[in-house]
Amino acid sequence: MSNSFGTLFRITTFGESHGAGIGVIIDGCPAGLAVDAAHIQAALDRRRPGQSALTTPRQEADRVQIQSGLFEGETTGTPISLFIPNADQRSGDYEHVQHAYRPSHADYTYQIKYGRRDYRGGGRSSARETAARVAAGAVAAQLLAQLGLTVQAYVSAVGEIELPLGYQELDLSLIETNLVRCPHPETAALMQRRIEAARDAHDTVGGVITGVARGVPVGLGEPVFDKLPAVLGHALLSINAVKGFEIGSGFAGTRLAGSQHNDPFYIDEAGRVRTRTNHSGGVQGGISNGEDVVFRAAFKPVATLLQPQETINDQGEAISLAGRGRHDPCVLPRAVPIVEAMTQLVLADLVLRARANRA
Protein backbone atom coordinates (compact mmCIF):
# COMPACT_ATOMS: atom_id res chain seq x y z
CA MET A 1 0.00 0.00 0.00
CA SER A 2 1.04 3.52 -0.66
CA ASN A 3 -1.49 6.00 0.51
CA SER A 4 0.70 9.07 0.68
CA PHE A 5 1.47 11.48 -2.12
CA GLY A 6 3.76 14.49 -2.32
CA THR A 7 7.15 15.39 -0.94
CA LEU A 8 6.67 18.56 1.09
CA PHE A 9 2.96 19.21 0.68
CA ARG A 10 2.09 15.62 1.44
CA ILE A 11 -1.25 13.90 1.81
CA THR A 12 -2.12 10.53 3.32
CA THR A 13 -5.58 9.17 2.65
CA PHE A 14 -7.58 6.38 4.22
CA GLY A 15 -11.01 4.85 4.35
CA GLU A 16 -13.26 2.47 2.50
CA SER A 17 -16.53 2.78 0.67
CA HIS A 18 -18.52 1.12 3.42
CA GLY A 19 -16.53 1.85 6.58
CA ALA A 20 -16.78 4.76 8.98
CA GLY A 21 -15.71 7.27 6.38
CA ILE A 22 -13.02 8.64 4.14
CA GLY A 23 -10.25 10.95 5.27
CA VAL A 24 -7.00 12.65 4.56
CA ILE A 25 -4.10 14.07 6.53
CA ILE A 26 -2.25 16.96 4.92
CA ASP A 27 1.26 17.18 6.30
CA GLY A 28 3.48 20.04 5.31
CA CYS A 29 0.90 22.67 4.50
CA PRO A 30 2.59 25.98 5.30
CA ALA A 31 1.31 28.05 8.18
CA GLY A 32 -0.80 31.12 7.63
CA LEU A 33 -3.28 30.01 4.99
CA ALA A 34 -6.89 30.94 5.52
CA VAL A 35 -8.91 27.75 5.16
CA ASP A 36 -12.45 27.02 6.13
CA ALA A 37 -14.81 24.08 5.92
CA ALA A 38 -17.10 25.88 3.48
CA HIS A 39 -14.30 26.20 0.98
CA ILE A 40 -13.50 22.48 1.17
CA GLN A 41 -17.18 21.61 1.15
CA ALA A 42 -17.72 23.46 -2.10
CA ALA A 43 -15.12 21.28 -3.77
CA LEU A 44 -16.63 18.12 -2.32
CA ASP A 45 -20.09 19.08 -3.48
CA ARG A 46 -18.86 19.03 -7.05
CA ARG A 47 -17.64 15.47 -6.65
CA ARG A 48 -20.31 13.95 -4.44
CA PRO A 49 -22.66 11.27 -5.71
CA GLY A 50 -26.28 12.03 -6.23
CA GLN A 51 -25.65 15.53 -7.44
CA SER A 52 -27.48 15.16 -10.73
CA ALA A 53 -29.48 12.91 -12.97
CA LEU A 54 -26.26 11.81 -14.66
CA THR A 55 -24.64 10.36 -11.56
CA THR A 56 -25.18 7.48 -9.19
CA PRO A 57 -28.25 7.94 -7.03
CA ARG A 58 -26.20 7.02 -3.94
CA GLN A 59 -26.84 9.94 -1.63
CA GLU A 60 -23.76 10.99 0.29
CA ALA A 61 -23.85 14.43 1.84
CA ASP A 62 -20.05 14.22 2.11
CA ARG A 63 -19.90 16.68 4.97
CA VAL A 64 -16.30 17.39 5.79
CA GLN A 65 -15.05 17.66 9.36
CA ILE A 66 -11.81 19.51 10.05
CA GLN A 67 -10.20 17.68 12.93
CA SER A 68 -6.84 19.40 13.30
CA GLY A 69 -4.34 21.84 11.92
CA LEU A 70 -6.31 25.09 12.00
CA PHE A 71 -6.37 27.78 14.63
CA GLU A 72 -8.55 30.83 14.36
CA GLY A 73 -9.27 29.97 10.73
CA GLU A 74 -5.68 29.68 9.57
CA THR A 75 -3.29 26.82 9.07
CA THR A 76 -0.71 26.49 11.82
CA GLY A 77 1.87 24.36 10.03
CA THR A 78 0.64 21.24 11.81
CA PRO A 79 -1.09 18.34 10.07
CA ILE A 80 -4.59 19.04 8.81
CA SER A 81 -7.02 16.17 9.23
CA LEU A 82 -10.16 16.13 7.12
CA PHE A 83 -12.76 13.45 7.68
CA ILE A 84 -15.87 12.69 5.65
CA PRO A 85 -18.20 10.21 7.36
CA ASN A 86 -19.97 7.68 5.20
CA ALA A 87 -23.71 7.97 5.40
CA ASP A 88 -25.76 6.17 2.78
CA GLN A 89 -24.25 2.71 2.90
CA ARG A 90 -26.04 -0.35 1.72
CA SER A 91 -23.65 -3.21 2.21
CA GLY A 92 -26.36 -5.59 1.26
CA ASP A 93 -26.02 -4.36 -2.28
CA TYR A 94 -22.70 -6.14 -2.47
CA GLU A 95 -23.34 -9.58 -1.06
CA HIS A 96 -23.68 -10.97 -4.56
CA VAL A 97 -20.09 -9.94 -5.36
CA GLN A 98 -18.56 -11.33 -2.20
CA HIS A 99 -17.16 -14.30 -4.05
CA ALA A 100 -17.23 -12.93 -7.59
CA TYR A 101 -14.38 -11.46 -9.57
CA ARG A 102 -16.11 -8.68 -11.45
CA PRO A 103 -14.61 -8.01 -14.89
CA SER A 104 -12.15 -5.11 -14.95
CA HIS A 105 -12.61 -4.47 -11.24
CA ALA A 106 -10.01 -4.78 -8.49
CA ASP A 107 -11.64 -7.82 -6.88
CA TYR A 108 -9.24 -10.41 -8.20
CA THR A 109 -6.05 -8.41 -7.86
CA TYR A 110 -6.79 -7.30 -4.29
CA GLN A 111 -7.70 -10.85 -3.34
CA ILE A 112 -4.42 -12.26 -4.62
CA LYS A 113 -2.25 -9.42 -3.42
CA TYR A 114 -3.59 -9.26 0.12
CA GLY A 115 -5.20 -12.67 0.57
CA ARG A 116 -8.56 -11.03 1.38
CA ARG A 117 -10.61 -7.99 0.52
CA ASP A 118 -13.38 -5.83 1.84
CA TYR A 119 -15.87 -6.51 -0.91
CA ARG A 120 -18.47 -4.01 0.28
CA GLY A 121 -18.65 -1.31 -2.35
CA GLY A 122 -15.17 -2.13 -3.55
CA GLY A 123 -13.65 -1.32 -0.17
CA ARG A 124 -10.54 0.75 -0.59
CA SER A 125 -10.58 0.37 -4.38
CA SER A 126 -13.83 2.33 -4.59
CA ALA A 127 -13.69 5.68 -6.31
CA ARG A 128 -15.19 6.99 -3.11
CA GLU A 129 -11.56 7.22 -1.98
CA THR A 130 -11.13 10.22 -4.24
CA ALA A 131 -13.30 12.36 -1.96
CA ALA A 132 -10.26 12.66 0.26
CA ARG A 133 -8.19 13.90 -2.65
CA VAL A 134 -10.74 16.55 -3.48
CA ALA A 135 -10.83 17.78 0.10
CA ALA A 136 -7.04 18.04 0.22
CA GLY A 137 -6.90 19.69 -3.18
CA ALA A 138 -9.13 22.47 -1.88
CA VAL A 139 -6.47 23.29 0.71
CA ALA A 140 -3.71 23.17 -1.88
CA ALA A 141 -5.75 25.52 -4.01
CA GLN A 142 -5.57 28.12 -1.25
CA LEU A 143 -1.78 28.05 -1.36
CA LEU A 144 -1.82 28.36 -5.14
CA ALA A 145 -4.35 31.18 -5.05
CA GLN A 146 -1.81 33.27 -3.14
CA LEU A 147 0.44 33.00 -6.20
CA GLY A 148 -2.35 33.78 -8.63
CA LEU A 149 -2.25 30.20 -9.85
CA THR A 150 -5.57 28.63 -10.83
CA VAL A 151 -6.48 25.15 -12.05
CA GLN A 152 -9.54 24.26 -14.10
CA ALA A 153 -10.62 21.04 -15.75
CA TYR A 154 -13.49 20.11 -17.99
CA VAL A 155 -14.87 17.18 -19.94
CA SER A 156 -13.48 17.29 -23.48
CA ALA A 157 -14.75 13.94 -24.74
CA VAL A 158 -17.48 11.46 -23.86
CA GLY A 159 -17.13 8.31 -25.88
CA GLU A 160 -16.80 9.35 -29.49
CA ILE A 161 -18.22 12.84 -28.80
CA GLU A 162 -15.24 15.16 -28.81
CA LEU A 163 -15.14 18.83 -28.02
CA PRO A 164 -14.10 20.44 -31.32
CA LEU A 165 -12.27 23.42 -29.80
CA GLY A 166 -9.06 23.91 -27.88
CA TYR A 167 -9.12 25.39 -24.42
CA GLN A 168 -8.06 28.81 -25.64
CA GLU A 169 -11.13 29.01 -27.83
CA LEU A 170 -13.45 28.15 -24.97
CA ASP A 171 -15.04 30.16 -22.19
CA LEU A 172 -14.12 28.13 -19.13
CA SER A 173 -16.59 30.04 -17.02
CA LEU A 174 -19.24 27.89 -18.69
CA ILE A 175 -17.94 24.64 -17.23
CA GLU A 176 -20.41 24.56 -14.37
CA THR A 177 -23.37 25.61 -16.48
CA ASN A 178 -24.25 22.05 -17.44
CA LEU A 179 -24.33 18.63 -15.84
CA VAL A 180 -21.49 17.28 -17.95
CA ARG A 181 -18.99 20.02 -17.04
CA CYS A 182 -18.14 20.78 -20.64
CA PRO A 183 -17.68 24.50 -21.39
CA HIS A 184 -19.21 24.22 -24.85
CA PRO A 185 -23.01 24.05 -24.43
CA GLU A 186 -23.72 22.42 -27.79
CA THR A 187 -21.20 19.67 -27.21
CA ALA A 188 -22.32 19.34 -23.62
CA ALA A 189 -25.82 18.60 -24.81
CA LEU A 190 -24.54 15.87 -27.10
CA MET A 191 -22.44 14.43 -24.33
CA GLN A 192 -25.37 14.40 -21.96
CA ARG A 193 -27.44 12.48 -24.47
CA ARG A 194 -24.56 10.07 -24.95
CA ILE A 195 -24.39 9.39 -21.22
CA GLU A 196 -28.14 8.96 -20.99
CA ALA A 197 -28.03 6.53 -23.89
CA ALA A 198 -25.41 4.48 -22.12
CA ARG A 199 -27.43 4.51 -18.93
CA ASP A 200 -30.58 3.48 -20.70
CA ALA A 201 -28.70 0.64 -22.40
CA HIS A 202 -27.46 -0.52 -18.98
CA ASP A 203 -24.03 0.23 -20.32
CA THR A 204 -21.32 2.80 -19.55
CA VAL A 205 -19.14 5.23 -21.41
CA GLY A 206 -15.65 6.74 -20.94
CA GLY A 207 -14.07 9.94 -22.07
CA VAL A 208 -11.37 12.54 -21.67
CA ILE A 209 -10.84 15.38 -19.23
CA THR A 210 -8.68 18.36 -20.14
CA GLY A 211 -6.94 20.33 -17.42
CA VAL A 212 -5.45 23.81 -17.55
CA ALA A 213 -3.28 25.53 -14.95
CA ARG A 214 -2.85 29.25 -15.41
CA GLY A 215 -0.49 31.59 -13.66
CA VAL A 216 2.10 28.88 -13.12
CA PRO A 217 5.42 30.52 -12.24
CA VAL A 218 8.53 29.60 -14.21
CA GLY A 219 10.57 26.94 -12.43
CA LEU A 220 8.21 24.24 -11.16
CA GLY A 221 9.33 20.65 -11.67
CA GLU A 222 12.33 18.81 -10.27
CA PRO A 223 14.50 17.05 -12.88
CA VAL A 224 15.40 14.46 -13.69
CA PHE A 225 12.81 12.17 -12.11
CA ASP A 226 10.25 14.56 -10.71
CA LYS A 227 9.77 16.63 -13.79
CA LEU A 228 6.40 18.37 -13.79
CA PRO A 229 4.87 16.01 -16.40
CA ALA A 230 6.15 12.98 -14.51
CA VAL A 231 4.63 13.89 -11.15
CA LEU A 232 1.47 15.23 -12.74
CA GLY A 233 1.14 12.06 -14.79
CA HIS A 234 1.75 10.00 -11.65
CA ALA A 235 -0.98 11.93 -9.86
CA LEU A 236 -3.54 11.54 -12.61
CA LEU A 237 -2.76 7.92 -13.42
CA SER A 238 -3.39 7.12 -9.76
CA ILE A 239 -7.05 8.10 -10.19
CA ASN A 240 -9.44 5.20 -10.67
CA ALA A 241 -10.20 4.45 -14.34
CA VAL A 242 -7.47 6.69 -15.81
CA LYS A 243 -5.64 4.82 -18.56
CA GLY A 244 -3.73 7.64 -20.26
CA PHE A 245 -2.14 11.01 -19.73
CA GLU A 246 -0.65 13.49 -22.13
CA ILE A 247 0.70 17.00 -21.78
CA GLY A 248 0.86 19.69 -24.44
CA SER A 249 0.83 18.17 -27.88
CA GLY A 250 0.91 14.66 -26.42
CA PHE A 251 0.33 11.76 -28.79
CA ALA A 252 -0.83 14.04 -31.59
CA GLY A 253 2.46 15.93 -31.40
CA THR A 254 4.39 12.85 -32.42
CA ARG A 255 3.09 13.41 -35.92
CA LEU A 256 4.49 16.93 -36.22
CA ALA A 257 7.91 17.81 -37.57
CA GLY A 258 10.30 19.41 -35.12
CA SER A 259 10.10 22.63 -37.08
CA GLN A 260 6.34 22.67 -36.55
CA HIS A 261 6.44 21.52 -32.95
CA ASN A 262 9.05 23.83 -31.47
CA ASP A 263 7.69 26.80 -29.55
CA PRO A 264 9.65 29.92 -30.51
CA PHE A 265 10.44 32.32 -27.70
CA TYR A 266 9.66 36.02 -27.92
CA ILE A 267 9.26 38.96 -25.60
CA ASP A 268 5.71 40.15 -25.18
CA GLU A 269 4.53 43.72 -24.76
CA ALA A 270 4.87 43.44 -21.00
CA GLY A 271 8.49 42.41 -21.45
CA ARG A 272 7.86 38.85 -20.37
CA VAL A 273 9.47 35.84 -21.99
CA ARG A 274 6.76 33.94 -23.82
CA THR A 275 6.43 31.28 -26.50
CA ARG A 276 4.41 31.84 -29.65
CA THR A 277 2.89 28.37 -29.58
CA ASN A 278 2.47 26.02 -26.65
CA HIS A 279 3.00 22.53 -27.97
CA SER A 280 5.14 22.04 -24.88
CA GLY A 281 2.08 22.38 -22.67
CA GLY A 282 3.81 24.87 -20.43
CA VAL A 283 6.78 22.64 -19.64
CA GLN A 284 10.28 22.47 -21.11
CA GLY A 285 13.00 20.24 -19.76
CA GLY A 286 10.44 19.08 -17.23
CA ILE A 287 10.14 22.56 -15.72
CA SER A 288 7.27 25.02 -16.12
CA ASN A 289 8.06 27.87 -18.52
CA GLY A 290 5.30 30.25 -17.49
CA GLU A 291 2.85 29.28 -20.23
CA ASP A 292 -0.39 27.53 -19.37
CA VAL A 293 0.08 23.93 -18.30
CA VAL A 294 -2.35 21.93 -20.43
CA PHE A 295 -2.93 18.20 -20.23
CA ARG A 296 -5.49 15.46 -20.89
CA ALA A 297 -6.46 12.35 -18.99
CA ALA A 298 -8.23 9.33 -20.50
CA PHE A 299 -10.93 7.64 -18.44
CA LYS A 300 -12.05 4.16 -19.41
CA PRO A 301 -15.77 3.36 -19.27
CA VAL A 302 -17.09 2.38 -15.84
CA ALA A 303 -16.62 -1.33 -15.23
CA THR A 304 -19.83 -1.92 -13.33
CA LEU A 305 -22.64 -2.65 -15.78
CA LEU A 306 -26.31 -3.16 -14.97
CA GLN A 307 -26.38 -6.00 -17.48
CA PRO A 308 -25.18 -9.59 -17.16
CA GLN A 309 -21.53 -10.37 -17.83
CA GLU A 310 -19.66 -13.65 -17.93
CA THR A 311 -16.89 -14.01 -15.36
CA ILE A 312 -15.70 -16.34 -12.61
CA ASN A 313 -15.92 -16.54 -8.85
CA ASP A 314 -13.17 -17.13 -6.32
CA GLN A 315 -13.63 -20.86 -6.70
CA GLY A 316 -12.79 -20.61 -10.37
CA GLU A 317 -16.34 -21.31 -11.44
CA ALA A 318 -17.87 -19.57 -14.43
CA ILE A 319 -20.73 -17.30 -13.39
CA SER A 320 -22.92 -14.63 -14.85
CA LEU A 321 -23.09 -11.37 -12.96
CA ALA A 322 -24.99 -8.12 -13.33
CA GLY A 323 -24.23 -5.01 -11.33
CA ARG A 324 -26.67 -3.95 -8.68
CA GLY A 325 -26.09 -1.13 -6.30
CA ARG A 326 -25.96 2.46 -7.49
CA HIS A 327 -23.46 3.36 -10.14
CA ASP A 328 -22.54 6.10 -12.55
CA PRO A 329 -22.98 5.39 -16.24
CA CYS A 330 -20.12 7.84 -16.82
CA VAL A 331 -17.65 9.14 -14.26
CA LEU A 332 -16.40 12.06 -16.28
CA PRO A 333 -18.57 14.84 -14.84
CA ARG A 334 -17.74 13.89 -11.27
CA ALA A 335 -14.07 13.32 -12.12
CA VAL A 336 -13.52 16.95 -13.09
CA PRO A 337 -12.95 18.12 -9.50
CA ILE A 338 -10.75 15.07 -8.87
CA VAL A 339 -8.50 16.01 -11.78
CA GLU A 340 -8.35 19.57 -10.51
CA ALA A 341 -7.51 18.41 -7.01
CA MET A 342 -4.65 16.15 -8.05
CA THR A 343 -3.25 18.96 -10.17
CA GLN A 344 -3.50 21.39 -7.28
CA LEU A 345 -1.75 18.95 -4.99
CA VAL A 346 1.07 18.44 -7.48
CA LEU A 347 1.57 22.14 -8.06
CA ALA A 348 1.44 23.06 -4.38
CA ASP A 349 4.12 20.49 -3.69
CA LEU A 350 6.30 21.70 -6.55
CA VAL A 351 5.91 25.30 -5.39
CA LEU A 352 7.29 24.38 -1.99
CA ARG A 353 10.04 22.22 -3.43
CA ALA A 354 11.17 25.02 -5.71
CA ARG A 355 11.93 27.14 -2.67
CA ALA A 356 15.04 25.02 -2.20
CA ASN A 357 16.43 25.62 -5.67
CA ARG A 358 18.81 28.42 -4.91
CA ALA A 359 21.31 29.08 -2.17
Residue list 61-100, contact with its own copies (CB under 8 A): 65-69, 71-72, 74-81, 83
215: contact with its own copies by CB under 8 A: no
253: contact with its own copies by CB under 8 A: yes
- Give the total of residues touching its own copies (CB under 8 A): 154
CA distance 69 to 204: 41
- The interface with its own copies within residues 175-194 (CB under 8 A) comprises none
SS3 string, 110-165, reads HHHHHCCCCCHHHHHHCHHHHHHHHHHHHHHHHHHHHCCCEEEEEEEEECCEECCC
**Residue whose CB is less far from its own copies, 183 or 245:** 245
Q: In angstroms, what is the minimal distance from the CB of 221 to its own copies?
A: 8
> Cα 115 vs. chain centroid, distance in angstroms?
29
- The interface with its own copies within residues 10-49 (CB under 8 A) comprises 10, 12-16, 19-21, 23, 25, 27-33
**Residue whose CB is less far from its own copies, 3 or 51:** 3
Q: In angstroms, what is the minimal distance from the CB of 173 to its own copies?
A: 26
Q: In angstroms, what is the minimal distance from the CB of 275 to its own copies?
A: 7
Put the strands of the sheet holding 10-15 in their side by side order: 4-5, 10-15, 21-27, 80-85, 65-68
CA distance 292 to 213: 6
Q: What is the torsion angle, in degrees rounded to the nearest 10, for the CA atoms of residue 261, residue 246, residue 148 and residue 176?
A: 120
Give the one residue of 87, 165, 273, 322 binding its own copies; rule: CB under 8 A: 273
**Residue whose CB is less far from its own copies, 61 or 237:** 237
Q: In angstroms, what is the minimal distance from the CB of 342 to its own copies?
A: 10
Q: In angstroms, what is the minimal distance from the CB of 45 to its own copies?
A: 22
Contact string 112-131 vs its own copies (x = CB under 8 A): xxxxxxx----xxx---x--
Give the one residue of 38, 173, 270, 271 binding its own copies; rule: CB under 8 A: 271
37-47 vs 332-354: helix crossing angle, rounded to 10: 140
Give the one residue of 45, 93, 196, 226 binding its own copies; rule: CB under 8 A: 226
Q: In angstroms, what is the minimal distance from the CB of 184 to its own copies?
A: 18
Give the one residue of 135, 263, 337, 339 binding its own copies; rule: CB under 8 A: 263
Contact stretch for its own copies (CB under 8 A) within 43-51, 90-98, 185-193, 257-265: 257-265
CB 203 within 8 A of CB 357: no
**Residue whose CB is less far from its own copies, 177 or 308:** 308
User: E strands along 301-356, which residues?
Assistant: 309-313, 318-321
50: contact with its own copies by CB under 8 A: no
95: alpha, beta or left, given left = phi > 0 and alpha = psi -120 to 50? alpha
- The interface with its own copies within residues 233-252 (CB under 8 A) comprises 233-235, 237-238, 242-251
Give the CB-side neighbour count of residue 78, counting CA atoms within 13 A. Answer: 9
173: contact with its own copies by CB under 8 A: no
325: contact with its own copies by CB under 8 A: no
Burial class (CB in 10 A: 0-12, 13-18, 19+), 215: middle
CB 60 within 8 A of CB 49: yes
Give the one residue of 153, 208, 216, 346 binding its own copies; rule: CB under 8 A: 208
Contact stretch for its own copies (CB under 8 A) within 89-97, 165-173, 184-192, 273-281: 273-281
332-354 vs 228-237: helix crossing angle, rounded to 10: 140
Task: Give the CA radius of gyration of the chain.
Answer: 21
Q: In angstroms, what is the minimal distance from the CB of 331 to its own copies?
A: 11
- The interface with its own copies within residues 143-172 (CB under 8 A) comprises 143, 146, 157, 159-160
In Å, what is the CA distance from 312 to each residue of 7, 93, 102, 107, 108? Answer: 41, 19, 8, 11, 10
